[in-house]
Amino acid sequence: MKRWIFIPLLVIVLPLTLFGTYLGYKVVTTASDMQEDLARGEKSEKRDEAVDISKDHFSVLFLGVDTDDPNENSRADALILATFNREDSSIKLLSIPRDSLVDIPGRQNRDKINHAHAFGGVDLTIDTVENMLDIPVDFYTKMNFHGFVDIIDALGGVEVDVPFDFETHGTEGSANMVYFEEGRQHLDGEEALGYVRMRKQDPRGDLGRGERQQEVMEAVIRRAGSISSVARYDDVLDEIGNNMSTNLSLGNILSLHPYAQSLDSIETVNLSGNDLTQNGVYYYQVSEDSLQEARERLKVHLDMIEEPHTYSAQEANGYE
């Protein structure tokens, strides 16, 4: 899963450097169309002042939502928090299970974290993630699944290695089934969405789904980097503008350039836990130890705390 979140940024910045004036103008227009600020303003309450991407460490929450209606606060079915360390241009990535049982600010009972977006949009989702991880969420990027479909179609589809035979729905609520046979297969947008969303038929559950998501997004990055047609980039930019929102400005996006070399060496941070059923509803119960470890690692990466010292056996026993 670790690279898919950078696709919108890569697809926006790449044509600016490759194709000059026309697409440069289109990039500026697209960035303006998709910019949507948060109600809280430009900084997290966990910050003394707003961050400057060109010189500060920062975080970005990436959301995938299951609707294409910008006025509908649907569930956020993909939640990925990335932290960026400016000093060494490194990236850490935390995928938050969508069914994680958490406290949602302003709600009486604990609930699934993906419901925060349904209750209060991006603002409440960010508040919930900040409350869960105890770190500032400086920026966000939100894309709907229909945008995912349209962008892959605009790129001409992707190639994947299907691990086993299965069938599933593509777009949520669609009556159309998509079929997969083990082996190399070319996927259009609808097929790719079904491929990355299927979980119940995978013997490895979310682990298998995560690996399929990563495979598709890597294929999209390769495809985006190999396209030589200005017209196709034009189409991709149209789809991004129609299906993505963010509080990142064009200047912020261009300031991400130093991190491009880190895309192949992203470090992932994992949350472990247990399945939990309450009143017939399934939740994922993140373990406190796992959550605390994730908090510390992200805080160290953002330079909010110093890295905890690991003691050797001799030090633990009082020896230098």
- So what's the pLDDT on residue 1? 39
Length of the chain in terms of residues written: 320
Residue type at position 207: L
Residue 300 and residue 78: Cα distance in Å, rounded?
24
In the listed set 168, 197, 226, which residue is the last one of a domain according to the structure? Answer: 226
Averaged pLDDT for residues 3-29: 51
Q: What are residue 140's phi and psi, to 5 degrees?
A: -140, 160
Strands annotated E in the chain:
58-65, 76-85, 90-95, 101-102, 111-112, 139-144, 158-162, 166-169, 177-180, 183-187, 244-246, 267-269, 273-278, 281-286
Averaged pLDDT for residues 245-261: 80
Q: CA 174, 177, 181 angle in degrees (round to 5)?
A: 150
Is the same domain home to 140 and 180? no
Averaged pLDDT for residues 35-43: 91
Residue 169 or residue 280, greater confidence: 280
Q: Tell me the CATH number at 72.
A: 3.30.420.590
Q: Tell me the CATH number at 169.
A: 3.40.630.190
Averaged pLDDT for residues 185-200: 87
Q: Print the domain residue range for 201.
A: 156-226
Averaged pLDDT for residues 111-139: 96
Structural domain contains residue 65:
yes
Is the same domain home to 138 and 164? no
pTM: 0.77
Neighbour count for residue 276 (Cβ, 10 Å) = 13
Averaged pLDDT for residues 186-208: 82
Average pLDDT, the chain: 79
Residue 129 and residue 113: Cα distance in Å, rounded?
8
Structural domain contains residue 22:
yes
Structural domain contains residue 241:
yes
Looking at the 3D structure of the chain, how many domains does it have?
2
Residue 27 and residue 12: Cα distance in Å, rounded?
6
Is the same domain home to 214 and 236? no
122 pLDDT higher than 80: yes
Is the same domain home to 149 and 171? no
